[in-house]
Amino acid sequence: MRGVDLSVDAGIVTGLIGPNGAGKTTCFNAITGLQSINSGCVTFDGVDMTGMSPHKRARLGIARTFQRLEVFGSLSVRENVLAAAEIRRRWSRDKSDTRANADGVLALVGLTPLADRPADTLPTGQARLLELARCLATRPRLLLLDEPSSGLDDGESDELGDLLCQLAEAGMAILLVEHDMGLVMGVCSRINVLDFGAVLMVGTPDEVRADERVRAAYLGAADDPEEAPVEAEPDQGADSAVLAGIGTGAPDV
């Protein structure tokens, strides 16, 4: 990434889009501490996290999903979520009922009927929802989602969009990396467009749709970015998260 300035505010869904290799996952890694930075700073709710380890950042109230599925395959769906709830209870000293927390989150994402099913038997779309549920069990203030609609059909994607809006309306800050432009344009209040590791533009969905630079970044694959087919990338209260002048060298996603 090169001089990336990006802010994520509570109460809205913020989009992060761009062609393959633009630096989107690198940006997530810089926020969560999995990627070191050469310049700039990363702050959350006024706290400079730049030198913090990933687990300390998580304890500030940050949770993320990964582009490559990261579920505990040998555990059940409920046990996956319970693991996150139990870990949070240990460090936060929260005395609330972790099973009630897990069951509430599973109901929220629509996985209650599958609670006792082994996680490694889930299709991709439902496994994505399990990742989201596990994040929510940690009660985050900032949620980073890396292609959460992958594997979902149109109806499930619409339900996911409704859930993201619901979470944002409750005060959560959400940063969404997604290739489903219909979902991005439908739920995001502000969209950041990355290209070759730099911010190409920041604007509303309407502004992004109309921007010729965005069309060019998507290789002219469609007249409307919402219709542009993009292949998946290779693996690799007033709360806000801010990246200021971030540099990581050449984009590695």
Burial pattern 39-64, b for ≥16 Cβ within 10 A else e, equals ebebebbeeebbebeeeebbebbbbb
Tell me which residue has tokens 């460090």: 91
Per-residue pLDDT, 180: 92
Show the tokens assigned to 177: 């990396």
Give the least confident one: 78-82, 154-158, 181-185, 233-237: 233-237
**Mean pLDDT across the chain:** 86
Per-residue pLDDT, 40: 87
18: left (phi over 0), alpha (psi -120 to 50) or beta: left
Q: What is the DSSP string of 74-119?
A: TSBHHHHHHHHHHHHHHHH---S-HHHHHHHHHHHHT-GGGTTSBG
Per-residue pLDDT, 247: 52
At residue 4, what is the residue type?
V
Residue 220 has pLDDT above 60, yes or no: no
Per-residue pLDDT, 231: 39
List beta partners, residue 175. 14, 144
Task: Determine the average pLDDT of the residues in 119-136.
Answer: 95
Whole-prediction pTM? 0.85
C-alpha span between 190 and 10 (Å, rounded): 12
* pLDDT tens per residue across span 159-202: 999 999 999 999 999 999 998 999 999 999 999 999 888 899 99
* pLDDT tens per residue across span 16-46: 999 888 889 999 999 999 988 888 899 999 9
